Amino acid sequence: MTTITTPASANAHSHAFHRMLRGRTHGAGGSFWTWRDLMYRVAAALDPDLYRELAEAVFAEMLVSGYTAVGEFHYVHHRPDGSPYEDPNAMGRALAEAAESVGIRLTLLDTCYLASAPGVALLPEQARFGDGTVTAWQERWQALAPLASGLVTIGAAIHSVRAVSPHDIAAVAEALPEGVPLHIHLSEQPAENEQSLAAFGRTPTGVLATAGALSPRLSVVHATHLTSDDIALLGAAEVTVVMCPTTEADLGDGIGPARELVDAGATIAIGSDQHVVIDPYLEVRGLEAGERMRSLARGRFSPAELDAARSSGGFRSVGVVEHEGDTVVLDVASVRTAGAAPDQLASAATASDVIEVSVGGRVVARRGVLADGRDPAAMLSTAIAQLSSRLEGATR
């Protein structure tokens, strides 16, 4: 036997347009906050047509890498000056159409984003992210319903406790229908915790608890800098914690307490976030590697736990219940996988070993290209060239 069929992977945290930053941010050094400046420039250059083209390419790259579902944390809503498009959900529609075009499951996590910091208005470069009030966001979110399809699920997100007040977090959590996935960035940076403590007298997790937002449908993304009380609260609420090890390493975020969170009752999922690489096997290896570096011990997660983080944990996070027909055929005789135990392939394989990908029992990708023959590399090259030209024109 030279191949094995395994459950597909689920990418529980993505910002599709961040793919533009891969290989362009390392020379300058700096921090998450300086990296963010370039991210804002890319966001400002997008329009619905270009976003659809870029997202198609990014979603295609995910498919050929073994991801069959993606939670797209979507906050680029309006024109760069903050005025709405004729269709207020034109950008979300572009993402939904991109997912349907390539055949990936998409949970569109439309994001409430109202402030740049507690009590501080959005910056000019953030204007297109905001709806002004939580009520206006809710009205636009409700208008997303027609985008739902066999592949597209409508979810919701709160950007962070920096960007949405405790009162408005409570309003979002209370108004969302039962079963709708809800995501939030949580304690990615120490500065976020410091701002939360200064403004609200609580950690970001404490803010969520007081607002009534902690529940099994909630996914908290990163959860890197937590107190022991935070861990206990998240575990007791049975939240999903979406860790993005390749992004957290790239941005210098730190290593989150994954083992402690699982032991407290949380579920772990993975995400590619800013897409410094799109490879579910590297994410779960990064998860285990981080734990080993923190603890100075091996085997912090069993092979079965790593596979669950790669697959079932992510599907839970994005609200995809029926995914038994989502499978990946792996090459078990490559230079990477030869000799690996079948139950430990996640510790040896990479996305390069993905031979075939199926969604709902239908083959959507084979040997690095989509089933219809489209090549993600060519798609990415075209989209990135157009976006690069737009960025260069904006700086002249």
Cα Rg for the chain, rounded, in angstroms? Answer: 20
Tokens for 396, please give them: 């002249």
Number of other residues whose CB lies within 10 A of the CB of residue 179? 9
How far is the C-alpha of 98 from the C-alpha of 93, rounded, in Å? Answer: 8
Report the side by side order of strands in the sheet with 240-243.
9-14, 67-74, 105-112, 152-158, 182-186, 218-222, 240-243, 267-270
Residue type, 187: S
The answer to whether residue 168 is catalytic is: no
Active-site residue, selected from the candidate residues 222, 225, 275, 323: 222
- CB under 8 Å to 87, separation ≥6 — which residues? 93
The answer to whether residue 222 is catalytic is: yes
Pick from 4, 102, 108, 98: nearest CA to 53: 98
How far is the C-alpha of 325 from the C-alpha of 346, rounded, in Å? Answer: 20
How far is the C-alpha of 134 from the C-alpha of 129, rounded, in Å? Answer: 13
Tokens for 336, please give them: 């990477």
8 A C-beta contact, residue 55 and residue 49: no
Task: Count Cβ atoms within 10 A of the Cβ of residue 125 and give its class: 0-12 exposed, 13-18 middle, 19 or more buried.
Answer: middle
Question: Would you say the C-alpha torsion 35, 118, 72, 238 has a positive or negative sign?
Answer: positive
Tokens for 216, please give them: 């099994």
N residues, the chain = 396
Active-site residue, selected from the candidate residues 230, 273, 307, 326: 273
Task: Name the 3-class secondary structure at 178.
Answer: coil
How far is the C-alpha of 327 from the C-alpha of 361, rounded, in Å? Answer: 8
Tokens for 48, please give them: 């619905």
Phi, psi angle pair for 184, to nearest 5°: -155, 140
User: Catalytic amino acids?
Assistant: 222, 273
